[in-house]
């Protein structure tokens, strides 16, 4: 497997020139996020990714996590790696100093997360889930719960999990059966949860489970779900650890990928009931859990970006060194990187990675603005943008991440199908990202029903209007490359607008047809909004070239990559439009017994 090289230069460009790091750093509470500090944080995080996490990725995949005598054993090197993060207080990067955090923007945290997920996705899932638990408790927990659980979760001394799914219920959370019976100042939890990432391990001294359950008199469906904090080890009032709670890992799943991440079946209350503490009010658990879920969805979108970056680096390195045949137009044999179709695949990978990175970082910046902007109207507008982009980042980046990882195997040819090269692992690891934390269809349903139809397409049209204005500016530019990018973006934006208008019109008449078009619509919007970010990058690159600022080779590369995306990726939007407005009519044409 090729060594991982953190793409710091492109990350810093996106942070500064596309995501608006300066504006985010000017928000109240982020005053310490100076360019110098952020640069140092990224450089050190990249070093950890490259030197500590990446070397464990392939060995960890081979060794996997194991359940031995009731205890989960993680792969060799995992303990030293988590200790590195704890010693550096890396989990606390986006949290308030009150809880032991660094107080830096979530935008910076997303950049750090990208590097760790690229380096070792199976490992990075543990800190990712812990940060989600911190978010949920910080936003929804009582002052006493915050004081008891946040300090050690923020510093990484404890880990956190999210317990939603049950056998037979799947994504239908209204069907969960885990029970919670009030007993004094706590509840006794009983039931079983499946697919719990890092549900058990001994990397840290305690694990704080956030568990969805029903009280005896709860109404049916999702309106009767409550959220509970269920520690693996009970926590005394003084913060010390007490007895083991009635929580156990009863098995680990054997998975296609992320072998070194223990995916647990967790049993609560086998010996009478696990002690749990109600978060907020009864029957509002799903609302509270979505704080954690939305954090996870953004970060799983970043996983799609991250695994694509790693697959691209792997394929690029192999193409440079692999000599096979004489490429068309070349006098002598050279690396397969000179073959036009290999170049097409690498350019497809590179351009889509850069588009995903830009869109994910812009979404993270919108979240920071939504939480911290001093003006209420600006916060509300940023919240709308962040909510709109969240399912697109999760759904589009993971779907494209799978495709990029698959292209990585193709670039390797037959060697890509051999595990030793590492290309297979990227594809196997990527495959789960379109499924967990809500499948692509669930993201599409969220996009369609809660984001577009909620305001009759107003937010979607506002985002597309920005893209249309940019396209018009580029089309009028004297530079031929920018004009070509602008023309391609304009056509794609028109297609996206037509798709949104069609959805708003058809949904009241045929909800099933609207739902059937959801995933293609999500794909179309991701492609177009990613293209908008690439067009913005091209405009910046042209200005820097004209002003003779910085490295001209970097700016020319950025300009050419955006041009490729505009000419080769953006036209997909027009094909997707036809499938949305026309093809969706045929989805339900066959009876189930005809399939």
CA distance 413 to 7: 25
Contacts of 575 (CB under 8 A, 6+ apart): none
CA distance 437 to 442: 9
| SS3 state at 213 | strand
Question: Of 507, 488, 515, nearest to 572 (Cα)?
Answer: 488
CA distance 427 to 257: 8
Hey, what are 324's tokens?
Answer: 């096979």
Answer for the pair 13, 322: CB distance below 8 angstroms, yes or no: no
Sign of the Cα torsion 513, 516, 521, 524 reads negative
CA distance 157 to 361: 28
| SS3 state at 232 | coil
Residue 236: how many CB atoms within 10 A of its CB? 11
Residue tagged active-site, from 437, 463, 549, 567: 437
Contacts of 54 (CB under 8 A, 6+ apart): 3, 4, 118, 119, 120
Sign of the Cα torsion 278, 284, 289, 294 reads negative
Contacts of 436 (CB under 8 A, 6+ apart): 195, 197, 300
Question: Of 433, 431, 463, nearest to 447 (Cα)?
Answer: 463
List % helix, strand, coil for the chain (3-state, nearest 5). 65, 10, 25
Q: Is 139 an annotated catalytic residue?
A: no
Q: How far are the Cα atoms of 56, 115, 123 from residue 80, in angstroms, in the given order?
A: 11, 18, 12
User: Beta partners for 196?
Assistant: 264
CA distance 291 to 67: 30
Active site members:
437
């Amino acid at each position: 497997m090729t060594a991982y090289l953190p793409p710091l230069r492109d990350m810093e460009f996106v942070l500064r020139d596309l995501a608006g790091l300066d504006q985010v750093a000017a928000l109240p509470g982020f005053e310490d996020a100076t360019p110098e500090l952020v640069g140092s944080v990224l450089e050190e995080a990249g070093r950890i990714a490259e030197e500590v996490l990446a070397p464990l990725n392939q060995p960890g995949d081979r060794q996997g996590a194991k359940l031995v005598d009731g205890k989960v054993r993680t792969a060799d090197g995992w303990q030293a790696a988590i200790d590195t993060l704890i010693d550096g207080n890396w989990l606390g990067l986006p949290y308030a100093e009150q809880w032991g955090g660094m107080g830096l923007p979530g935008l910076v945290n997303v950049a750090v997360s990208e590097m760790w997920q690229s380096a070792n996705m199976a490992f990075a899932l543990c800190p990712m889930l812990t940060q989600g638990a911190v978010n949920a408790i910080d936003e929804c927990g009582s002052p006493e719960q915050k004081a008891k659980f946040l300090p050690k979760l923020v510093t990484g001394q404890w880990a956190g999990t999210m317990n939603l799914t049950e056998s037979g219920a799947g994504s239908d959370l209204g069907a969960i059966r885990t029970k919670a019976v009030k007993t004094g100042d706590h509840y006794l939890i009983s039931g079983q949860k499946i697919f719990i990432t890092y549900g058990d391990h001994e990397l840290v001294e305690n694990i704080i489970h956030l568990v969805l359950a029903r009280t005896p008199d709860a109404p049916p469906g999702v309106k009767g779900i409550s959220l509970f904090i269920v520690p693996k080890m009970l926590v005394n009032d003084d913060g010390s650890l007490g007895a083991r709670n009635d929580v156990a890992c009863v098995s680990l799943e054997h998975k296609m990928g992320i072998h070194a991440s223990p995916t647990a079946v967790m049993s609560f209350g086998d010996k009478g009931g696990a002690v749990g503490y109600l978060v907020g009010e009864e029957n509002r658990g799903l609302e509270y859990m979505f704080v954690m879920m939305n954090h996870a969805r953004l970060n799983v979108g970043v996983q799609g970006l991250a695994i694509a970056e790693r697959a691209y680096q792997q394929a690029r390195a192999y193409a440079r060194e692999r000599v096979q045949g004489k490429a068309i137009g070349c006098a002598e044999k050279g690396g397969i990187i000179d073959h036009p179709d290999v170049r097409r695949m690498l350019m497809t990978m590179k351009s889509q990675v850069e588009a995903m990175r830009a869109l994910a970082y812009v979404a993270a910046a919108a979240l920071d603005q939504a939480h911290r902007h001093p003006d209420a109207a600006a916060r509300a507008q940023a919240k709308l943008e962040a909510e709109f982009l969240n399912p697109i980042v999760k759904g589009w980046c993971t779907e494209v991440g799978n495709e990029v990882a698959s292209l990585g195997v193709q670039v390797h040819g037959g060697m890509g199908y051999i595990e030793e090269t590492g290309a297979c692992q990227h594809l196997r690891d990527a495959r789960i990202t379109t499924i967990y934390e809500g499948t692509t269809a669930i993201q599409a349903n969220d996009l369609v029903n809660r984001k577009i139809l909620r305001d009759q397409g107003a937010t979607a049209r506002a985002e597309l209007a920005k893209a249309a204005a940019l396209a018009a500016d580029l089309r009028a530019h004297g530079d031929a490359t920018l004009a070509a990018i602008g023309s391609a973006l304009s056509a794609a934006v028109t297609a996206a607008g037509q798709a949104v208008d069609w959805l708003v019109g058809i949904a009241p008449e045929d909800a099933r047809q609207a739902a059937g078009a959801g995933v293609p619509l999500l794909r179309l919007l991701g492609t177009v909004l990613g293209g908008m970010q690439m067009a913005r990058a091209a405009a910046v690159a042209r200005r820097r070239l004209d002003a003779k600022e910085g490295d001209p080779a970097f700016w020319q590369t950025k300009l050419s990559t955006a041009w490729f995306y505009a000419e080769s990726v953006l036209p997909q939007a027009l094909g997707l439009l036809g499938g949305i407005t026309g093809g969706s009519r045929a989805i339900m044409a066959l009876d189930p017994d005809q399939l």
